[in-house]
Amino acid sequence: MDVPELLESASLLVPEETATENDITVRDIWDYLAHDEWEIALGLLEELGDGRSIPLAFWEKLAEAAEQLRLERSAAWCHWRCSEIRNGVIRADLKLRPAGAGRRTTPFSGTGVLRPMWDIGHLSPTGERAVSIAALWGESMPILEPGGQATVRLVPLTPSHWTHVRSGQQITMHEDRAVAGIAVVLEVHRPAAMPGE
């Protein structure tokens, strides 16, 4: 499919009553598509996709359109949203340790590249702390600085490890044995049931 077909196809997967914070709906997006304003249409569809009932195919189509348009950050975001649907997502407020207080002394990308370990309360068979891995995306923060604070989205590598995590729970981020940051869970969304499950 080419870009217009992908965007049109994705727009058909959005419930008609869905609107952005600025009251933009799928009908408005069709106007942008009719005038070959593909980047604007893609951005608006990403905003409409913030609803929880949007299917995986929507994000897959947007990711492909973003790749064809060579919009790397949009493509990364759309692939990230696919991962959220497959594996679930935990939103949390994260406070990183200051430079020098932990291993990290430099900023890192907040766009899903880092996959730190998280202490979410599990113990190993020997009674020691057991950690689980989750990728990290900083909401509206492309770069996270040591000592910084941000709302983040975590996609668990193994969703079954995270089933006990609840809103209000404190979890710790690790890049080695030392605590790299402390997060308070804001929301937990379980993986979506995939067709055939």
Q: Phi/psi of residue 46, each to 5°?
A: -60, -40
- What is the pLDDT, as a whole number, of residue 195? 52
Whole-angstrom Cα distance, residue 95 to residue 159? Answer: 23
Name the packing angle between helices 26-34 and 38-48 (round to 10°): 170
What is the 8-class DSSP label of residue 170? E
Which burial class, exposed, middle or buried, applies to 183 when counting CB atoms under 10 A from its CB (0-12, 13-18, 19+)? buried
Q: How far is CA 185 from CA 16, 117, 164, in A?
A: 31, 15, 12
Which residues in the chain come in under a pLDDT of 70?
A: 51-52, 194-197
Residue 195 has, within 13 A of its CA and on its CB side, a CA count of 3
**Which of 114, 145, 144, 119 minimizes the C-alpha distance to 132?**
119
Residue type at 80 in one-letter notation: W
How many residues does the structure list for the chain? 197
The pLDDT mean for the chain works out to 92
- What is the pLDDT, as a whole number, of residue 52? 63
Whole-angstrom Cα distance, residue 25 to residue 140? Answer: 23
- What is the pLDDT, as a whole number, of residue 156? 97
- pLDDT tens, residue by residue, 73-118: 999 999 999 999 999 999 999 999 998 887 888 999 999 999 999 9
Specify which residues 133 forms β-bridges with. Answer: 117
pTM of the model: 0.89
- What is the pLDDT, as a whole number, of residue 16? 80
Total Cβ atoms within 10 A of residue 18: 16
Spatial neighbors of 178 by CB under 8 A, at least 6 apart, are 97, 102, 103
